[in-house]
Amino acid sequence: MYVLPAIDIREGAAVRLIKGDFSKKTVVNEDPLAQAHTFKEAGIKRLHIVDLDGALDGNTTNAPLIEKIKKETGLMIEVGGGIRSMAQIEQYVTIGVDRIIIGSAALKNPELVKEAVAHYKEKIAVGIDAKNGKVAVSGWLEVSKTDYLTMAKEMAAIGVQTLIYTDISKDGTLTGPSLAHYEALKQAVPEVAIIASGGVSDKQDLEALAKLDVYGAIVGKAYYEGRVTLAEILEVEASC
């Protein structure tokens, strides 16, 4: 299992939210580039970046900053937040992003996912964010009637190879990941790589996810609050 530390970018800074609430923002590093260098120097190889500004306005607001992070660190980078068109996907491909995450647009515009997979299959992931099992979109401000497993199956049928699943009720709460949801996803779409996001509070949570044999896990608040160290993250990766 791979572990990806997260950098969520809002108004030029690395921040953390609780349950996706933009009013509950904590700045964890004024300089996202410096934070990325910290990860690289520790031996981290992969990075999960969310453009929170893009999630709100639908633009690739922080693309120049993300390009700089990629060029200076050489880390494997996946990016999500506000990606709603092929032009945006192509922009991220051009600047060297390794995996592009389509979120809200995957539910609202599955044709975009089909086109993206047709052109950049290995580089495309779909983010499924759910509240009480129902898919949430538009920066988690709207909750649909679509069940997360139904959406996962629809994305797999299109040819999506990687899904990033977040239980919003767990995001930023340090209460442990929704293990049952990841088990259900693995059973529903066994051919798809599942990346877990939300709720990780310590090394033991990462080990529990590793036992489920998910493809990857994202760590945010637990790292920034010192509950899991970069050394522990590397230990979990090495043991998988």
* Residues 6+ positions from 43 with CB-CB distance below 8 Å: 230, 234
Distances from the Cα of 237 to the Cα of 116, 213, 231, angstroms = 30, 12, 10
Give per-residue burial for 44-78: e unless 16+ CB within 10 Å, then b.
bebbbbbbbbbbbebbbbbbebbbebbeebebbbb
Q: What would the two tokens of residue 116 be?
A: 């993206």
User: Rounded to the nearest 10 degrees, what angle do helices 110-120 and 86-94 cross at?
Assistant: 30
Could you give the residue numbers annotated as active site?
Answer: 8, 129
